[in-house]
């Protein structure tokens, strides 16, 4: 982990969007560039470290006694805590699903949404786990992020394995930096795109089921004709079900023919 420097914070992963960037470019983590909104909001977050006096709600905490510097019962959070909060929050934003505001990613194979564990986010933010945990607790206390209860999955041997708890970014973060309307537009677009993708997948699954049923039906008719002709057929996977059905139909046909004779 890098040594904290109050004059030069470690914000290398927060990159200012460029007008000349291409969609095929990759970010600091080696991933495809995230939506412009998510990268843009990370830039003013750095002010929590460089100019905290402008952000009283997020850079100060209450105290029991009056602090002479501020003439109020508030105290500025130390620079290391502010740096950790900015680093962790920016990593969470860059890994946020626009449609749901959840922090995670979609599995490319199953399309299921996977939530990041805090230790994974800490590693991406280049923070120790204790530091990331304190930053997460502070961000949660000021209402910027929220998390649901952890889900446990039962194993075959009766034990339980904990899964990552869902973590969600609050819309108030975007409202605070004047990007609330932009967020709404992007969320509507992402939701519509997600619905269209699900509809396409459903249609593709339906076509696949219809094609499979058609193949099995054709195989059954072919095997039925072969059995009636007295030919021997060998069931082969995946057509074994069709072959078995054709054989049973042929046997019933033979029984009916014998009765008619």
Q: Report phi then psi at 103, rounded to 5.
A: -95, 115
Q: What stretch(es) of the chain map to CATH 1.10.10.10?
A: 36-178
- CA dist 241 and 247 (Å) reads 10
Alpha-carbon distance of 127 to 133, in angstroms, equals: 10
**pTM exceeds cut of 0.95:** no
List C-alpha distances in Å: 210 to 97, 205, 213, 222, 243: 33, 9, 5, 18, 18
CATH class of 36-178: mainly alpha
Tens-digit pLDDT profile for residues 208-238: 776 777 777 667 667 666 666 665 555 544 4
**Is residue 111 classed as helix, strand or coil in its secondary structure?**
coil
For 8-18, write each residue's pLDDT tens digit: 888 988 988 88
């Amino acid at each position: 982990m890098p040594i904290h420097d109050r004059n030069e914070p470690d914000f290398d992963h927060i990159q200012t969007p460029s007008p000349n960037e291409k969609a095929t470019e990759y970010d600091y983590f080696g991933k495809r560039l995230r939506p412009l909104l998510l990268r843009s909001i990370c830039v003013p977050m750095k002010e929590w470290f460089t100019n905290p006096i402008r952000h009283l709600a997020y850079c100060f905490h209450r105290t029991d006694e009056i602090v002479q510097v501020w003439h109020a019962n508030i105290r500025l959070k130390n620079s290391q805590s502010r740096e950790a909060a900015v680093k962790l929050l920016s990593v969470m934003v860059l890994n946020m699903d626009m449609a749901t505001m959840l922090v995670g990613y979609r599995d490319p194979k199953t399309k299921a949404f996977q939530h990041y564990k805090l230790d994974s986010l800490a590693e991406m933010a280049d923070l120790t786990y204790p530091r990331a945990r304190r930053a997460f607790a502070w961000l949660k206390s000021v209402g910027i992020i929220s998390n649901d209860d952890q889900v446990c999955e039962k194993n075959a041997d009766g034990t339980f394995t904990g899964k990552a708890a869902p973590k969600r970014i609050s819309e108030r973060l975007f409202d605070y930096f004047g990007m609330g309307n932009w967020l709404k537009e992007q969320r509507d677009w992402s939701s519509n795109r997600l619905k269209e993708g699900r509809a396409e997948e459903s249609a593709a699954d339906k076509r696949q089921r219809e094609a499979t049923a058609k193949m099995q039906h054709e195989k059954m008719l072919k095997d039925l004709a072969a059995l009636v002709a007295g030919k021997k057929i060998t069931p082969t996977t995946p057509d074994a079900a069709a072959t078995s059905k054709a054989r049973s139909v042929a046997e019933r046909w033979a029984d009916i023919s014998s009765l008619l004779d």
